[in-house]
Structure 1
Amino acid sequence: MEIVIKLSQFLLSLSLLIILHELGHFIPAKIFKTRVEKFYLFFDVKFSLLKKKIGETEYGIGWLPLGGYVKISGMIDESMDKEQMALPPQPWEFRSKPAWQRLIIMLGGVTVNFILAFIIYIGMAYAYGDYYIKNESLKDGIWVTNPVVEKAGIKTGDKIVSIDGKKIDRFVPSVSSSILMSKKVVINRNGEEKEIDLPVNFIGQFIDENKKNIITLRMPFVVGGLADNSKNKEQLKEKDIFVSLNGISVKYFDQAAAILEANKGKKINGIVLRKLKETPITVEVNAQGKLGVSLGSLKEDNLEKLGYYKFTQENYSFFESIPVGIEKGKNQLIEYGGQLQKIFNPSTGAYKGVGGFAAIYNVFPNSWSWEVFWSITALLSIMLGVMNLLPIPALDGGHVIFLLYEMISGKKPSDKFLENAQMVGFFLLITLLLFANGNDIYKAIVGK
């Protein structure tokens, strides 16, 4: 069932983005009286799953879910219809339209992608508001479980002050990705501020380590369950919260882990909070410094009741949500642009994290959440828009470059040149597609 939910979200999001992107080309083409021969969700290589011709356009669903397309008459595209291009230009064809109209048609898809992302962010701000912890309230700092982050100089207990000069007022999950993309982080350690320069290949090191977390909230040591071979079944119960170990007060799991590491193979006393009452226990630490228990979690309201964190829910009216959503969309667009820069810089190692369809599929959760679904869809819409603007022939950005050249120079590239450029662009896209999906396969094989 989990696979069905995950796959449903993946296909729904992908289909929505493809259809709207292609509509961005289709609508201005129709406005400028340009014939659209096909409008397809997914590719119809050899055959279609569904198709129906309405007027001059064939609408359909292909069997290969690698994207979608609109086939516009008189345009050199992935169809490479040389027979049509060999005939004299017709008034309804793309090549017969003024350059400014062709430019609008080509920019229509990415324009829709960006508009869609901003609309989603505005809608999410209105529907869900903002849920965060004020950064100043993290009196005991953050939790670092990733060796790469520790090696860079950020440690458990540090408070994040600023990232690349931007002050952090709210602690939200995106703080982690901001650190991953940054060059400088200012932390407060024991009351003193310290500037940390992150290594150029920080992203590459992070990918190699294959640990998801960069930084996270420090959490209490809650017993989630006990292993069958645990020697502490009589002493511990599910949902116990450790408050003391070996005579030392314990507030967070990382503190408890350090005490257990120092007492391998020993029996030590402790105190747990059980149904809000302090209960003394004696536990046996195994040779690995463990108790044979899984780590549990507490809901936000329980974390608040126990005095760990104060969560803030900020709601917005419809008009208030507009600037909030626009700001979120702008920040996401800038961040993704920065990610692309790092990917194309081999020294960062960011290219190791490039993924294909499996990577996108795995972004979606196993349980259905509209908030998560729309958040991922908005991000994918930005990614699709930016990627399509890359100046690669066969992408919208490549067509735009040639059209701008024509508008500035007054000279139109020959059909032969455009055909050759299309082939080069197609080859580059196939190479990128093979690399991205090859990365997915490699990670699956080696378990990364």
Structure 2
Amino acid sequence: MDTLIMVAQLLLGLSILVGLHELGHLLTAKMFGMRVEKFSIGFPPKIAGFKYGETEYSIGAIPLGGFVKISGMVDESVDMDQLSSEPQPWEFRSKPAWQRLIVMLGGIIVNVVTGILIFVFLVYDRGETYFSRDQVLEHGIVAYEIGEQIGFQDGDKVLDINGEIYQSINDLSSGDALLSNNGYYTVDRNGERVTVPIPRGFINSFSDKESMSRFVNIRFPFEVGEVTPDQGAESAGIKSGDKILAVDGKEIYYFDELQKALAEKENQRVEILIEREGNTFAVESAVSDAATIGIAVSSLLEPVRKKYSFAQSVPLGVKRAFEVVIVNARAMGKMFTGEVSAKNVSGPIGMAKIYGSTWDWVKFWSITGLISMILAFMNFLPIPALDGGHVMFILYEMISGRAPSDRFLENAQKVGMVILLMIMVFAIGNDIVKLFVGS
């Protein structure tokens, strides 16, 4: 069932984005009087379809893209037969270059608008919830495995990122921070100002969604939540709402301090100092071989919650949408220099895993908005067979006054298709390796 939910979300998200992208091409083509022969969501073989007017609308069996077939255009179908005759008024090739340029940009523009609208409405509907810089400065951070590798320590109070003041603890692991050149964090460590450098290629440590949980988090004071039956805490008389003040005389305030104290006492008994309704007393509890006493905890640290008006949500949503493009562009550039591993490239399996195995509409739209912006960016790359390749050739024609020959465009399309196929094979290969071998 988990796999079905992941696949269903991926297919729905891609179908929406691909359909809107191709709709952008279709509408702009028809706006300029071009004949659109086919509109397909998914690649052949065709599953279902119908014809309305001059256009055949269909759904393909391979749901990893789609296409619009415009008369008189050298596209991924590489159908050259119709180009041997004289150009007709309704054909793509007979239209002015500026109209053809708009048609080729139509899909990209729609994906950008879609991504922006999704981010704007998410900001308006959900607002923001985060632990602020002020809270980090008050309580400090917990450094997990990945955080310790670059020099963070428990209790560090992060002052800035690359000398710039940040807003929330999420900024510590943002793409902007992890992709920075010669980046660093400045921390207050027991009153001493310390620099923690961000190593070259550090972003490769975050190749899966579990990686973030192994970086850093804010320290939080806590109280006992649910008590598990038949374990040490219940036998000791610990109850929900109790505050743990000390373990074997070691003062406890933050949850990570409790975890460390118990980790030193596996399979032993410990004295725990409890505060309950203003009274303080000690109990004795067994510690399991997993260094637990059988409690869940409730954080006593409340995150910052902000709500925005629609007018406030628009610029913030636009900013977030384009931050996705900027981060991906920077990551791609660093991939060519070897700083970012190509193993981070994901195909459909990786995308499905990002959606996750639970159906959460907020998460679904967040990821779909992100993918919409990435699709727009990727399609704008000057690779033949992508929209960006067509844009490149049209701009060449507009600047030079000479259009590339049909034979050149045909060969360019073939080269572009080979490049795209190689990228897809590589991405799916990465997915399979991560699935069976691990990242």
Specify the code of the residue in structure 1 equivalent to 2:313: S
- In structure 1, how many angstroms separate the alpha carbons of the residues matched to 2:346 and 2:274? 44
Call closer, same or farther: CA 1:120–1:194 in 2, change over 3 Å: same
CA 365–280 in structure 1, closer or farther in 2 if over 3 Å, else same: farther
Task: Pick from 258, 261, 272 the counterpart of residue 259 of structure 1.
Answer: 261
Task: String of CA shifts for 1:248-299, please: whole Å, max 9, x gaps.
Answer: 222233212322333345322114578998674323445x662375x7453x
The whole-number CA distance in structure 2 between the counterparts of 1:49 and 1:438 is 27
Q: Is the 8 A contact 2:209 2:354 kept in 1?
A: no
| 1:109 Cα deviation after fit | 1.0
- Matching of residue 324 in structure 1 with residue 316 in structure 2: yes
> Relative to 1, partners in 2 of residues 1:367 and 1:289: Cα closer, same or farther, differing over 3 Å?
closer
- Match for 2:13: what amino acid? S
Cα–Cα, structure 1 residues 222 and 439, in superposed 2: closer, same or farther, change >3 Å? farther
Q: Which residue of 2 aligns with 1:53?
A: 51
SS at match of 1:187: strand
Alpha carbons of 1:276 and 1:370: their partners in 2 closer, same or farther (altered >3 Å)?
A: farther
Q: Which amino acid aligns with 1:120?
A: I
| Counterpart AA for 1:312 | V
Q: Which residue of 2 aligns with 1:41?
A: 41
* TM superposition shift of 1:66: 1.0
Distance 1:325 1:391, change over 3 A: same
Q: CA deviation at 1:221?
A: 8.1
Structure 2 CA distance for aligned equivalents of residues 2 and 210 of structure 1 = 17
What SS is found at the alignment partner of 1:63?
Answer: strand
State how far apart, in whole Å, the 2-side matches of 1:275 and 1:366 are: 41
2:246 corresponds to which residue?
244
Classify 1:405/1:313 alpha carbon distance in 2 versus 1 (closer, same or farther; 3 Å).
same
1:169 has 2:167 as partner: yes
Structure 1 counterpart of 2:84: 86
Tell me the distance in 2 between the aligned counterparts of 1:227 and 1:352: 44
Partners of 1:108 and 1:93 in 2: CA distance: 17
Distance in 1 (CA, whole Å) between partners of 2:209 and 2:128 is 31
Cα offset, 1:428, TM superposition: 0.9
Residues 8-23 of structure 1: matches in 2 within 5 Å? 8-23=8-23
Unaligned runs of at least 5 residues, structure 1:
none
Gaps of 5+ in 2: none
State the identity %.
39
The letter for the 2-side match of 1:215 is V
Question: By how many angstroms is 1:151 displaced?
Answer: 1.8
Q: Which moved more, 1:78-87 or 1:427-436?
A: 78-87
Q: C-alpha separation between the residues in 1 aligned to 2:279 and 2:90?
A: 79
- 1:227 deviates by 10
1:193 shift after superposition = 3.2
For residues 91 and 194 of structure 2, the distance between their equivalents in structure 1, rounded to whole angstroms, comes to 62
**2:187 maps to what in 1?**
187
**Normalized against structure 2, the TM-score is what?**
0.89
- Residue in structure 1 matching 2:400, options 406, 409, 417: 409
Q: Does the Cα contact within 8 Å between 2:270 and 2:284 map onto a contact in 1?
A: yes
Matched residue, 2:411: 420
**What amino acid is the match of 2:262?**
L
- Aligned equivalent of 2:285: 283
Q: Does the 8 Å CA contact 1:35/1:72 hold for their aligned counterparts?
A: yes
Tell me if the contact between 2:123 and 2:313 (Cα under 8 Å) persists in the aligned partners: yes
1:180 and 1:91 mapped to 2: Cα distance? 52
Which amino acid letter does the alignment assign opposite residue 244 of structure 1?
A
Deviations 1:285-318 (A, max 9, x none): 45x662375x7453xxxx3xx3xx2322222222
Partner SS for 1:110: helix
Q: Is the 8 A contact 2:124 2:308 kept in 1?
A: yes
Contact preservation (8 Å) 1:179, 1:185: no
- 2:27 pairs with 1:27: yes
Q: Distance in 1 between matches of 2:239 and 2:2?
A: 26
Instruction: Spell out the pairing of 1:430-441 with structure 2 (5 A cutoff).
Output: 430-441=421-432
User: Residue type of the partner of 1:395?
Assistant: L
Alignment CA distance shift 1:58-1:165 (3 Å): farther
Aligned to 2:219: 218
How far is the alpha carbon of 1:238 from its aligned partner?
Answer: 8.6
1:100-115 matches, within 5 Å, as 100-115=98-113
| CA–CA distance in structure 1, aligned partners of residues 40 and 77 of structure 2 | 13
